[in-house]
Chain A
């Protein structure tokens, strides 16, 4: 008669959990095995999740938090006004170069919004209103935009939308946004003195401006504007990638003008003398690969450099910043008081090096005194693919790209404060302010 006094199952299994030995019964043994197996699998999962996923990159979190990977869909609704094509399509047809120059963001933003899930066809439920005007598409034969007709164009567009839809008059444009990627944003001039004189176009003073220009305490940067990177062609940059194990052997790299010989031959005006100072101080320094020649291997050279200079020109921003970020070269920003793209989402202080314009003669000392672990950390932050994507305007759109960062920025400004809505009959903007030439119809 088999005397198998099987102990109570609960006690047995707990003992098993502790010892895994001494269980004579095969079924409890199997139960033990299952329990241990599950425990190991669970531990394995936990370990793999918490372990450093990729030591090559680091997470980016700016002052607004970890927001680069936020999805704006569902957080806001944008209504796109249907303007006559003389404001957008016809201009583009006249000059298709507008699609590839650095001001092309306005055109691609329009196209993105037309097919985006944040677009709503019902203006009553919209949080933001977008007016598609291609104000930076009047180009000279050499390809530079002339801003002289832009104020009139914008003003006439606003007159149109304020008369055809009630939403402008409700808030006088405070829940509208405009993309103005020109040199000094909505000041619509390429010369800084003139731009400051004009100030932001009076009709746009309450609207949110999405612009590339950003400088603190400057007339042309409104509180609450969203700074974006200039457009840089993503396919061209992708096509010129070199193998990542190519050693970075150039210390500092820069290609561009130091003196604008046509407009400011002596220097001192252009770039507030900063670019000229870079040239005069470092032209004989072998560590500084700087020149005015435009080589065919520009993109490849950037990928072989550790630092890329991004000094100001006539305006503080330039596509160099985008190129430096995409190619993993630490940007050295020489522009006092500049506001960089998506400044609340991207911690530029941790990614780039900021050098005051008066410290340019000491640039080599500044760069070599950065501790190596800081340099490696900056490179890891730059290697993060979400960082690179946030600087680009790819077609077709990708999650986390600059379009989505703009929408994230707009979503962060919601909900609109009550003060935005005007009482009926109240008027804040002065429609007749500004130079007389601006008031002509377009």
Chain B
């Protein structure tokens, strides 16, 4: 009977408190209640009553101050107990085996010799300002950086090559928006980088000041032609500008991997890791973001989406054995006649068949006298016109290496968004001198609207 009673209480040992088992245990051992036990019982009852009156567990404080050992920390526990006191109005918890445990302490000290570790209630140590220390946070971030660098050197690409990024740009309202986005992506790239910025209309301070903020190695060249107003012409000029950049690479004999980052595109960080795998000439899948501003387009859009619900993707297409089988291109037929002609048209901007940004090259393909250059690459100087896409540089398109899990991963997105032709912006986006007309906030138009 006694055993089963004990067993019952022990069954929920983690759920119910061991406190209730304490007195039971002691009572089962000593059949006759000794005067000490009676005294403690009475004392317990007295403490209960006092705590009821006061509203907190004062027994804890009493016994703590009476029986605490050197292992407890004085100033922290009262600090904490005052907070807890407000919270714990639970009278049931007053029936603690605090006295039992604390009485055991001196006994334990005798039985366990040489042990610094004592069983019983310890204080909870809290430092005076338990909040993050900025110095330590910075140190920790540096440690994280070092660990990640080590991880990258072990599991990432061995012998990473320099990434050479070619960006054609020109001064316009949205240039700061687009170029800053590309710049921030490039600043995060963990490999050596050279950024070749070709600017239509010549080198300007606008672009130069934007690029200087990056801290990257940049080559800023001007192209002596102004950017035309139509998308067709713009695409052609951009191709010419990129060829100009390739010629610079050839002259300077830069070594690495060339990628084309148009200033309004979005690049994922995995792209830069993936292009390190290219041997000579690679292609990645580009997601095409076409947008329509005109609401008339929405009805037609819906029909289109039923047929092609996925985002259009340009890039290499592979067969079942992961060999290049063809190309996914953008289907321009649904948009024939409805696309934007001029740069500030409110219509869909269409990409060309295959965008430059989806291709990466090994710079050795461009060098004049490279001994291990493959036969299928054309010499840049021999090109008589400009080419629509880098595929024009190769004699045999089947040598292109598909990257990104054979084109299944979309690693960057193509987008063309420009402001209206009559939009103006302050040079370098600095409002200087400050605006003259200021409206006091009480008189603003929206204050009236809310009423």
Contact = CB atoms under 8 A, between A and B. Distances in A.
Interface in A347-376: 357-358, 360-362, 364-365, 367-370, 372, 375-376
Nearest to A366: B136
B440 to A, nearest CB: 41
A251 B140 contact: yes
A372 B115 contact: no
A65 interface: no
A217 interface: yes
Contacts of B123: 268, 273
A interface, over-half SS: loop
B375 to A, nearest CB: 35
A141 B3 CA distance: 19
Contact of A337 (B12, B77, B116, B131): B116
A218 B140 contact: no
Interface residues of A, number: 64
B151 A247 contact: yes
Nearest to A243: B155
Given A244-B155, A286-B137, A337-B116, A361 B17 contact: no
B7 to A, nearest CB: 7
Interface stretch (A16-24, A84-92, A109-117, A258-266): A258-266
A336 B136 contact: no
Contact of A266 (B10, B84, B131, B136): B84
Contacts of B130: 280-282, 284, 361
B120 A269 contact: yes
A394 interface: no
A361 B127 contact: yes
B132 interface: yes
A196 B17 contact: no
Contacts of A379: 147, 150
B266 to A, nearest CB: 21
B204 interface: no
Interface string B147-179: 110111011100000000000000000000000
Nearest to A280: B126
B144 interface: yes
B112 interface: yes
A196 B144 contact: no
Interface residues of B, number: 60
A306 B112 CA distance: 37
A339 interface: no
Given A142-B15, A193-B104, A218-B112, A245 B151 contact: yes
A272 interface: yes
B140 to A, nearest CB: 5
Contacts of B137: 285-287
B117 A248 contact: no
Contacts of A265: 88, 93
Interface in B103-156: 104, 108, 111-117, 119-127, 130-133, 136-137, 139-140, 142-144, 146-148, 150-152, 154-156
A277 B125 CA distance: 5
Contacts of A262: 14-17
A215 interface: yes
Nearest to B153: A55
A335 to B, nearest CB: 9
Given A266-B84, A277-B125, A376 B12 contact: no
B13 interface: yes
Contacts of A219: 111-112
A56 interface: yes
29 contacts: A191-B18, A193-B119, A216-B115, A217-B115, A217-B117, A218-B112, A245-B156, A248-B144, A251-B140, A265-B88, A266-B88, A268-B77, A273-B123, A273-B124, A281-B126, A281-B130, A284-B131, A285-B137, A286-B132, A287-B140, A358-B73, A364-B140, A368-B140, A368-B143, A369-B139, A372-B146, A375-B147, A379-B147, A437-B3
Given A245-B152, A361-B125, A364-B132, 5 more contacts: A196-B108, A217-B113, A267-B124, A358-B125, A372-B142
Interface of A: 55-56, 140-142, 144, 146, 148, 190-193, 196, 215-219, 243-245, 247-249, 251, 260, 262-269, 272-273, 276-277, 280-282, 284-287, 306, 336-337, 357-358, 360-362, 364-365, 367-370, 372, 375-376, 379, 437
